[in-house]
Structure 1
Amino acid sequence: MPTYTKLVAMGQYVPERIVTNDELATIMDTSDEWIQSHTGIKTRRFAMNGENTSDLATEVAQQLLQKSGLAATAIDLIIVTTITPDALTPATACIVQRNVGASNAFAFDMSAACAGFTFGLATADKFIRSGQYQNVMVISAEVNSKMMDFKDRTAAVFFGDGAGGALLQATEDPHENNLIAEKLQTQGNPEVIHSGRVQPITTVAATNYPQTDAFYQNGREVFQFATTVVPEQMRGLLASAGYRPDDLQYVICHQANLRIIEKIAATLALPMTKFPHNVEDLGNTSSAGVAMALAGVFDQVNGPTLLTAFGGGLAYGSVLIKK
């Protein structure tokens, strides 16, 4: 029989440390007024008590196990989407697997920048529909604070740390299928957004040591891309699935910037009440933003909901779900 994908549970976690705009203004040339007017962000959370990306993701994994009632040994696959992993290797997902005791799972990381959660959901869906995997976790976790240049107000004021995730489960009942349609795209443009670049060596020397660059984004190009190309993809996906924008209960966008979300809402001629958002309090949490925003309204979702995210790559993806 065909296998379908059911969205069983959602979880989210943020570090305790709240960082205000006024605090950032003490270390860089900015102000609360400037940040709020340009981004809508008031506060964000930073992982400052020894927490790393795997710790945030583990908190979400434990929530997913508790909410679903599953034992850790029932998990077949763990996908962690992140651009701020604990290390290049091993995968952060493998550390989460160890932390929760998911001994029967296999685990890997996915890097699709801020589009990670949509890419992760679409990937997990394929594993489940293969018929070989029953229970899959997709967790988006970011400690963006460790990748920031705090002299660069064009990037540092935007970002916060957090994690969100979903537990997906196989079902043979087509009425329980929650993932309806998807569209994933990339543009192969590495310059608009980049982070963690490691330069090759130029000579053999004892002083060689790997170093990475801080996060960088061209804000103007990101805004233009997010408010023109992304809505076009959203409309196209909806049309191909037989929906119109006003059929949607919710539209959950990447929590990059409140002004971008407002512009997308206006472009689609939809009210902001259909756009759950957490960016004011949590900042841009990269791939975790959509997952956390969905987790915040998951119990209220009873109609078609569009998840859309965009980020470095340039990568952008939309997933239509329905409960």
Structure 2
Amino acid sequence: MAQGVKIVASSHYVPEDIVTNDDLATIMDTNDEWIQTHTGIKTRHVSLQGENTSDLATKAAQQALEQTLLTPDDIDLIIVTTFTPDGLAPSTAALVQRNLQAKNAWAYDISTACAGFVFGLSTADKFLKANAGKHALVISAEVNSKMMDFNDRTSAVFFGDGAAAFILEASSESLVIAEKMQTIGNSKVVHSGLIAPLNEISANNYPKTSAFHQEGRQVFSEVERLIPAHINDLLQQNDLTPDDIDYFIPHQANLRIIEMLAKKLNQPMNKFVTNVTKYGNTSSAGIAMALDELRHQVPLQGKKVLLTGFGAGFTYGSILCQF
């Protein structure tokens, strides 16, 4: 039985089309100054060339595999975290498995919205530790744009599309040294893709889903109330303080939330990895994309990195990684 896991490769992929704040201002009552002041977001990548969530996920996975000597046949498990799947069935992970021709892999999705990568990494870590395979592919992928109501400026200006993929290998090393997961079920603050039940059998019935919606101020308040305490609890349980963490990678909700977390934890912003200004809120992919960028920018050997996701549901969790 493996003692732990290690990351052997990672990559991220975003659609080629870039939508600026000025672009959004042509279709809704907003402007660049308002968006940057309230969110810090300048641009976002949006899938306008027919790429769906499984396509972004597949491309990120292919790029990660190209960094190794592994083939798709070497992958035992594929987990895709998303709340913008291609559809309810088959799973987006199953489509990625088909696209990669990873014939030995079993695959499924995890839906915990913006906390997805944290939950996906935690799940893969446990499977590999339990000797349920040697290599796992954890992908976080979102095409948020397809779920937006572009008349809703309080939501649509935040979001972008993207994906990141990590290949994990069973190892004597131990990447995950602590974690804490929590859930408070509440669909009122944030919801997307709600499907109403029938009132009657009718020839006119056809399934309909709702667009993404969030109560922005309530989301900010919930994060401010819950997440700093959640992070401090996890660190205290492991005889650590925020000062002991080299890098924080929180959900890339918006820059103002990340700045609030830095202030609450009494930590400098240069310890917080961000990509939200150029990619927007990419839901579960945001943390994964930021971690991939960090891995390729600075040496992480010996560093402690805290990943904290929080999202619709309200579901949140943190993983403390030792590199």
TM-score normalised according to structure 1 size? 0.97
1:4 and 2:1 aligned: no
- Does the aligned pair in 2 maintain the 1:54–1:86 contact within 8 Å? yes
- Does the aligned pair in 1 maintain the 2:2–2:170 contact within 8 Å? no
Instruction: Tell me what 1:155 maps to.
Output: 155
- Distance in 1, Cα, partners of 2:238 & 2:76: 30
- Distance in 2, Cα, partners of 1:259 & 1:69: 41
Instruction: Tell me what 1:21 maps to.
Output: 21
Once the 2 structures are TM-superposed, how far is the Cα of residue 206 of structure 1 from its aligned partner?
1.1
Once the 2 structures are TM-superposed, how far is the Cα of residue 14 of structure 1 from its aligned partner?
0.4
Alignment of 1:95-174 (within 5 A): 95-171=95-171, 173=172
Instruction: Tell me what 2:231 maps to.
Output: 234
> Which residue of the other structure, out of 179, 182, 188, is the alignment partner of 1:182?
179
Aligned residues: 320
- Does the aligned pair in 2 maintain the 1:3–1:131 contact within 8 Å? no
Instruction: Tell me what 1:58 maps to.
Output: 58
Once the 2 structures are TM-superposed, how far is the Cα of residue 94 of structure 1 from its aligned partner?
0.5
Once the 2 structures are TM-superposed, how far is the Cα of residue 317 of structure 1 from its aligned partner?
0.7
> Which residue of the other structure, out of 288, 291, 311, is the alignment partner of 1:291?
288
- Does the aligned pair in 2 maintain the 1:135–1:170 contact within 8 Å? yes
Once the 2 structures are TM-superposed, how far is the Cα of residue 188 of structure 1 from its aligned partner?
1.1
- Distance in 2, Cα, partners of 1:227 & 1:293: 21
- Does the aligned pair in 2 maintain the 1:85–1:91 contact within 8 Å? yes
Once the 2 structures are TM-superposed, how far is the Cα of residue 126 of structure 1 from its aligned partner?
1.1
Once the 2 structures are TM-superposed, how far is the Cα of residue 225 of structure 1 from its aligned partner?
1.4
1:314 and 2:291 aligned: no
Instruction: Tell me what 1:272 maps to.
Output: 269
- Distance in 1, Cα, partners of 2:63 & 2:24: 32
TM-score normalised according to structure 2 size? 0.97
- Distance in 2, Cα, partners of 1:234 & 1:9: 27
1:206 and 2:203 aligned: yes
Matched position secondary structure for 1:270: coil
What is the letter of the counterpart of residue 216 of structure 1? H
CA RMSD of aligned residues (A): 0.9
- Distance in 1, Cα, partners of 2:239 & 2:304: 11
Q: 1:2 to 1:74 in 2, by over 3 A?
A: closer
Comparing 233-242 with 132-141, greater Cα deviation is found at 233-242
- Does the aligned pair in 1 maintain the 2:136–2:167 contact within 8 Å? yes
Matched position secondary structure for 1:68: coil
- Distance in 1, Cα, partners of 2:2 & 2:236: 25
- Distance in 2, Cα, partners of 1:42 & 1:268: 26
Alignment of 1:49-88 (within 5 A): 49-88=49-88
Task: Please identify runs of 4+ aligned residues in structure 1 that moved more than 6 A.
Answer: none
- Does the aligned pair in 2 maintain the 1:136–1:167 contact within 8 Å? yes
What is the letter of the counterpart of residue 277 of structure 1? T
Deviations 1:197-237 (A, max 9, x none): 11111111111101100001111111011122011111111
What is the letter of the counterpart of residue 141 of structure 1? A
Deviations 1:83-104 (A, max 9, x none): 1000110000011011111100
Instruction: Tell me what 1:262 maps to.
Output: 259
Once the 2 structures are TM-superposed, how far is the Cα of residue 2 of structure 1 from its aligned partner?
4.5
Question: Which sections of structure 1, spanning at least 5 residues, go unmatched?
Answer: none
Alignment of 1:37-48 (within 5 A): 37-48=37-48
Comparing 41-50 with 242-251, greater Cα deviation is found at 242-251
> Which residue of the other structure, out of 218, 221, 224, is the alignment partner of 2:218?
221
- Distance in 2, Cα, partners of 1:168 & 1:231: 29
- Does the aligned pair in 1 maintain the 2:47–2:161 contact within 8 Å? yes
1:253 and 2:213 aligned: no
Matched position secondary structure for 2:66: helix
Once the 2 structures are TM-superposed, how far is the Cα of residue 69 of structure 1 from its aligned partner?
2.0
What is the letter of the counterpart of residue 76 of structure 1? D
Deviations 1:51-110 (A, max 9, x none): 000000001111221123211101000000001000110000011011111100000011
- Distance in 1, Cα, partners of 2:170 & 2:92: 24
Once the 2 structures are TM-superposed, how far is the Cα of residue 238 of structure 1 from its aligned partner?
1.3
Once the 2 structures are TM-superposed, how far is the Cα of residue 132 of structure 1 from its aligned partner?
2.0
Once the 2 structures are TM-superposed, how far is the Cα of residue 249 of structure 1 from its aligned partner?
1.1
